[in-house]
Amino acid sequence: MDKWTELTITTEYDKWIFLEKELYNHGFYSFELIDPRMDQIDNREGRWDFFDEDIFNDVYDGITVKLYSQEDFNEFEDLLQTIYEEDLGDANLTEIDDEDWKNNWKSFYSTMEIGNKFTIKPTWEEYSNVDNRHVIEIDPGMAFGTGGHETTKMCLEHLEKYLKPGDDVLDIGSGSGILAIASKFLGADVVIGTDLDEKAVEIAKENANLNNVEVEFIVSNLFSNVKNTADIIVSNIVAEVLVLLLEDIDKYLKPGGYFISSGIIEERAKLVEDALIKNNFEIIEKTIDNQWVSIVGRLKDA
């Protein structure tokens, strides 16, 4: 039976935003989050229904994060050092088997309705599609993007609003492939997803097959291996990386095309807004959800 190394980190509420930033800086985009305040933060029907209430019993009164590695604990070494040096919480490593790993995820993740058109569900759940939604099946794995994160949700909502059938789409930093797959469900023509992480690209390909959509996923550092142009570019990466991406975007985004961005924490939003304006965009929309920002820009025609 496969073994997993489970890293559990507990931290105080006011340190969470810094810890989350460090998780991303160290390349950990997929993790379980136990936040006892979660049901109070956002109780909108159909949005936060993926927590098993039992997990709130006897949990730490702060934030608990669980990460998994199928390699060994060395993968966590740099992250652990940062946590200790910056006093970001307490960490504990244990070994678990495959069955426990699956069951852990199952108590965290269930069907979510997002926006007016999408439902994201794990393969193991039944869903009665009474509203004729686009049902995307994604199981949690080692890639970010199961729909539960604010940034992914805002990108899905913006895709729903700005994507027209027949549009070509580039998803830069595709993770699980959720945004690229969603674009296909909305009627996009050519969709290409890119990720720096080979493992994420493999998982995204599997997810496209699972959902019977045709998307090309490639390993690429931002646009380094991209040859196509698109009507919509969507990217959910951190602000500093989005600023770099914007320097080259006019070679890949058609004039009048939309750039849907997220992954931006509130205090970095201005960085991205300034970069959009510098690179000939008009800012069309900015949404904020629980300190995370998503910005939509339109590339001016000339």
Residue numbers at the binding site for ligand SAM (CB under 6 A): 29, 143-145, 152, 155, 172-175, 178-179, 194-197, 200, 221-222, 236-237, 241, 263
- What minimum distance in Å lies between the beta carbon of 200 and ligand SAM? 4
- What minimum distance in Å lies between the beta carbon of 178 and ligand SAM? 5
Question: Taking a C-beta distance cutoff of 8 angstroms, is the pair 252, 194 a contact?
Answer: no
Closer to ligand SAM by CB, 90 or 289: give it. Answer: 289
- What minimum distance in Å lies between the beta carbon of 152 and ligand SAM? 4
- What minimum distance in Å lies between the beta carbon of 276 and ligand SAM? 18
Among residues 160, 234, 228, which one has the least CA distance to residue 190? 228
Q: How far apart are CA 252 and CA 254, in angstroms?
A: 7
What is the Rg, in whole angstroms, of the alpha carbon atoms belonging to the chain? 19
**Tokens for 278?**
């510098």
Q: Measured in whole angstroms, how far is the alpha carbon of residue 127 from the centre of its chain?
A: 22
Strand-pairing partners, residue 4, are 96
- What minimum distance in Å lies between the beta carbon of 138 and ligand SAM? 9
Q: In what order do the strands lie in the sheet with 118-121?
A: 112-114, 118-121, 134-137
Pair type for strands 281-289 and 292-299: antiparallel
Q: Collapsing DSSP states into helix, strand and coil, what is residue 40?
A: helix
- What minimum distance in Å lies between the beta carbon of 53 and ligand SAM? 25
Question: Taking a C-beta distance cutoff of 8 angstroms, is the pair 251, 270 a contact?
Answer: no
Closer to ligand SAM by CB, 83 or 179: give it. Answer: 179
User: In the block, which residue shows the tokens 């006019």?
Assistant: 250
Closer to ligand SAM by CB, 62 or 155: give it. Answer: 155
- What minimum distance in Å lies between the beta carbon of 1 and ligand SAM? 28
**Tokens for 267?**
């205090």
Strand-pairing partners, residue 94, are 6
Q: How far apart are CA 97 and CA 293, in angstroms?
A: 37
Closer to ligand SAM by CB, 59 or 111: give it. Answer: 111
How many residues are recorded in the chain? 302
Closer to ligand SAM by CB, 62 or 141: give it. Answer: 141
Closer to ligand SAM by CB, 155 or 295: give it. Answer: 155
Closer to ligand SAM by CB, 62 or 297: give it. Answer: 297
